Amino acid sequence: MGRRVLVTGARAAAALDIARDFVAAGWEVCMADSVIARMARWSSIPATHDRFPPPRQAQAGFRNAIREQVDRHRIELVVPACEEVFHLAALKQDLGDRLFAPDLARLRQLHDKLSFARAAGGWGLPVPEGHPVETAEDLTRFMPRSHQWVFKPRFGRFGDQTLVGPDAARLEKLALRLEGGWMAQRRIIGEEVCFQGVAQHGRLVAFAAYRSDWRLGGGARYAFEPVEEDKATLLRDLAGTLARNAAIHGLFACDVLFDAEGAPYLIECNPRATSGVHLVAGGGHLARAIAEGTDAPTTANSTRYLGPAMILFGLPRAIAKGELAAWRACLAEGRDAISRPGDRAPLAGSLVDAARFFAKGRAHAISTNAATTYDIEWNGEELDV
């Protein structure tokens, strides 16, 4: 019997690539989610699949299910891929070192955009100026120069609600919906890139930096091009400093802006897996980095993309904006992170999953993006530990 890993958040393409990598490294893989993730279930990789109650709506049931699954499958390692990481961290006392994630206090610090900026600045990392925005009165100080600021929820995701350099009229409308805590961040104009890191007890063991010209309106990306070596080296140093000072044990990612002079600024942190995983996974390198702390090479030297999104969103955009040549080049020169030779069924599964999230969004009067995290997201509320 081989070593067994539980990969949660099976709905995510990143989870599927993590699972593939553990299979390549010789592990037995179990996958789980609170939804039926057909993309993962229809994959040809050898894996078992479980469901657990939605942690956001049924916290006690979720915890009981995780405990049962870990015991039944004799799980040695739990690797979260999505925002269920926060709910799993509340089980840290039960899971112990089997959970590949920081404790909940550290996750809160990294996930809260204002807390992250303050902590990162204290560690000597470059971050834009930031201020809390809790009331309509807090917004008045920004009215005269609102175009110089970005306003966003401290626990937001996908950029759906972010206001970049709004005029005074839009800022006044924001005053009517300040819920859950917002922040104002000094606007940096320049090139946006991202990086994915993997850290073992504060030591960076895997890393990939990428940019994307293909994204949804809120900012969610669906094609990932490795950045130039000089920028990747600079960002790797920043990621290593962050991992060391925050004592990160788990997956983490940051959005970064390079200003006109080429100086980088860390904009926010996502303490979980992101699409940068696709640039590291392959041949078991990522799995060994996670499980053993072995340094992993960045395996991708070309673009990775999410095939369904390139068809559903990229193609209409390319037609509308006269970018068909760029779209074709991305498909020709890159590689689909979902569909692989010998493992094509996840492509169809992802389309079924997307339709389900679209329907859930309509049912709850929220966006499709919001529907993908409706049952697992965490917005800073207290969790029993």
Report the distance separating Cα 311 and Cα 328, nearest Å: 11
Write the CA distances from 6 to 201, 212, 253, 276, 343, integer angstroms.
Answer: 20, 30, 21, 20, 21
Q: Could you identify the residue written with the tokens 């626990």?
A: 155
Give the residue from 32, 14, 54 showing the smallest Cα distance to 360. 54
131 touches 191 (CB < 8 A): no
Report the distance separating Cα 103 and Cα 294, nearest Å: 22
Q: What is the pLDDT of residue 152?
A: 92
Report the distance separating Cα 285 and Cα 269, nearest Å: 24
Give the rounded distance of the alpha carbon of 178 from its chain centre: 24
Pairing of strands 4-8, 304-305: unpaired
Is 32 strand, coil or helix?
Answer: strand
The 10s digit of each residue's pLDDT in 258-307 is 999 999 999 999 999 999 999 998 889 999 999 999 999 876 678 999 98
Q: Could you identify the residue written with the tokens 């939804």?
A: 35
pTM of the model: 0.93
H/E element, 182 = strand 182-186
- The secondary structure of 222-252 as a DSSP string is SEEEEPPHHHHHHHHHHHHHHHHHTT--EEE
The 10s digit of each residue's pLDDT in 340-380 is 889 999 999 999 999 999 999 999 998 888 889 999 999 88
**For 373, how many CA atoms within 13 A lie in the half-sphere containing its CB?**
17
331 Cβ contact partners less than 8 Å away, ≥ 6 residues apart? 305, 310
Report the distance separating Cα 54 and Cα 61, nearest Å: 8
Is 43 strand, coil or helix?
Answer: coil
Is 199 strand, coil or helix?
Answer: strand
Report the distance separating Cα 34 and Cα 146, nearest Å: 41
- Local mean pLDDT, 10-residue blocks, the chain (385 residues): 91 96 97 96 96 94 96 97 95 92 95 96 97 89 91 84 87 78 94 96 96 78 91 96 98 96 96 93 93 86 88 91 92 91 93 92 89 90 76
Report the distance separating Cα 209 and Cα 26, nearest Å: 27
39 Cβ contact partners less than 8 Å away, ≥ 6 residues apart? 10, 11, 13, 16, 338, 346, 349, 350, 352, 353
Is 167 strand, coil or helix?
Answer: coil
368 touches 358 (CB < 8 A): yes
